[in-house]
Amino acid sequence: MNEINQKPSFPISITFYLAITIFLLLFAASILLSPLFIQSSNKIILGFGALVYNLNAWLCHQLPERSLQLFGTHLPLDARMTGIFIGALIGLFSPLFLRYSKPIWPWIVAFLLLWPMAIDGISQTILLLRESNNVLRMATGILAGFGLFSVLAFELLRNVTHKVRGVFGQGKALKIAVAANILIIVFISALSVPIGKSFVSSRDAVALAKSRLEGGQSVVAKTFYLAPNAVISLPTDPYLDHYDDVVLKDAQGMADSYHFHSLLKLAFRPFVSPHGVWVVALLKKEPKTKSNVHFLPSTPGRYFYIDSVSGRIIKEIGH
């Protein structure tokens, strides 16, 4: 039997590899689309977006000033975590286009690629020597994600000859991997329905804010979404005063509105946190653009901070 027709020695590892790869592709899609979904008026789509933001609260601080924007809203993961998952996807495909002379090399490469992220993170967060930026955070995340998941991919596919054919030619493994991910999609979709029904949409938040104004006032409405962990994490950012942003400053005290009585509750913060906050700014004029602003510079108007689950106005501030 020639080498091309050899079957892999460990088909379970190929199934596992395919399942992880498909899952991360779907996960990346959910991250990129959730800023669009969270602004939807359709309750099912809105619920899916809200669920993605809340699930990712376990993985990330979700600080808006350290996150990228898409569709006018911050992603549910910060720039470094976004980079890690991008790098992870590239790393999973690396055995299909890379070859190493010895099995130890992927581990050495992974070790070396972790250092840029470690240096950037430690110098910023622990030593407080400098503030990083989103380009650097994302770049170091990509390197780290690539290194770690490249190791995983090479270990899972170590016994597969002719990688592309050996991996994607395994029909049974591919079917199992696809079926497993379909079950995950069905489960998440089922959860999205009740979440969407109980979630306040951006349109509802604007209507609630406008109902608090005296009739007939002409305003410029700006709407933003603060991810669940952002409310808790904002007061911990030592560089927050570097931003001339009225929303970031207003939001610092909102964590006081939510009570955490134990470390156990903090571990389950997606279920006890505010589940995200709608910011509705009803302004007297169009705001000016500033480079060190993530939401809005100080602009005359009324600012409403609304819990996206209860619809409670946490803060109403005039500027």
Q: What is the pLDDT of residues 34-66, one digit of tens each?
A: 999 999 999 999 999 999 998 898 889 999 999
Across the range 6-10, mean pLDDT stands at: 47
Backbone angles phi, psi at 149, to 5 degrees: -80, -20
| Continuous segment of H or E residues that includes residue 306 | strand 301-307
Q: In which element (H, E) is residue 264 found?
A: helix 263-267
Average pLDDT of every residue of the chain: 87
* pLDDT number for residue 60: 92
The answer to whether the CB of 26 falls within 8 A of the CB of 60 is no
> How many Å apart are CA 295 and CA 73, to the nearest integer?
10
- Beta carbons within 10 angstroms of residue 29's beta carbon: 10
Q: Which of 146, 144, 28, 138 is nearest to 98 (CA)?
A: 146
Number of alpha carbons in the 13 Å side-chain half-sphere of residue 196: 20
- Rounded CA-CA distance 51/107 in Å is 35
Chain-centroid distance, C-alpha 275 = 14
Highest mean pLDDT out of 143-147, 198-202, 210-214, 300-304: 143-147
CA end-to-end span of the chain, whole Å?
78
The alpha-helical segments, DSSP class H, found in 38-159 are: 43-55, 79-93, 105-121, 134-156
Q: Is the pLDDT of residue 119 over 90?
A: yes
Backbone phi and psi for residue 316, each to the nearest 5 degrees, phi listed first? -135, 110
Nearest one of 98, 135, 141 to 119, comparing CA atoms: 141
- pTM of the predicted model, to two decimals? 0.89
CA 142 to mean position of chain CA atoms:
14
pLDDT number for residue 298: 87
Q: Considering only 208-212, 258-262, 296-300, 304-308, which range has the smallest mean pLDDT?
A: 258-262
Q: For residue 175, give both structure tokens.
A: 């079917």
Q: What is the pLDDT of residues 55-97, one digit of tens each?
A: 898 889 999 999 999 999 999 999 999 999 999 999 999 988 8
CB-based contacts of 312, cutoff 8 Å, min separation 6: 306
Joined together, the tokens standing for residue 114 give: 């972790």
Please, what is the Cα angle at 15 between 86 and 150, to 5 degrees? 35
How many percent of the chain have pLDDT more than 70?
Answer: 87
Q: Residue 266: is its pLDDT beyond 60?
A: no
